[in-house]
A = this chain, B = another copy of it.
Amino acid sequence: MVNPQPRKRGRPPKQAPDHGDTRESLLRAGVATLTRKGFVATGLDEILALANVPKGSFYHYFASKEAFGAEAIARYGAYFAAKLDRHLLDERLAPLDRLRGFIANAEAGMRRYEFRRGCLVGNLGQEMSALPEAYRSQLDAVFMDWEARLAACLRLAQARGEIGSGRDCARLAHFFWIGWEGAVLRAKLRRSGEPLRIFAEGFFALLA
């Protein structure tokens, strides 16, 4: 349960900074649930129950499920980009070791939820043909953002001679995220981190 305490009716006090707290709980619960079950399979009632927020509040803060989903995508995209940077910009490690660190961390994260949660962006991407068309460009933009961050890291490795100088790092980054989403999908299906490791191994073999 994300926010177990009950809420009081009426306007909240100003010094008790409830401001945006309900909204925040909803988004947190939404990201968690969408990451696990996807958009179509997730009912508002489920998010509401997880956040301990009454239904009446939802439509006070969000215009629709579609608008809520768009914010959840943005939220997840930013959260994940920050996590990525924490690894890929860590100057204590060699560039490729940073990527290895991210991969290990991602597997640990999936294991923590018994491989039931995947990637929100991947989930919604797969559902695209049943989703609001406006999500398409948003999801694609998130991928491109992640790719740019990875490409920068790969270029650092390339400058150190750890990636052949002829290789196109942007293309390699593209390749990585294409395959990584497949690996996450498969890890969810098999309830195992092995697909993540198999893909990672292949990816690193490709760089040499």
What residues of chain A have their CB less than 8 Å away from a CB belonging to chain B? 36-38, 40-41, 116-118, 122-123, 125-130, 136, 139-140, 143, 171-172, 174-175, 177-183, 185-186, 188-191, 195, 198-199, 202, 205-206
Contact = CB atoms under 8 A, between A and B. Distances in A.
A174 B198 contact: yes
Contacts of A38: 40, 126-127, 130
State the number of copies, please.
Answer: 2
Contacts of A127: 37-38, 41, 126
Among A127, A172, A199, residue most surrounded by chain B Cβ atoms (within 10 Å): A127
A190 B122 CA distance: 13
B185 A129 contact: no
B188 A175 contact: no
Nearest to A199: B178
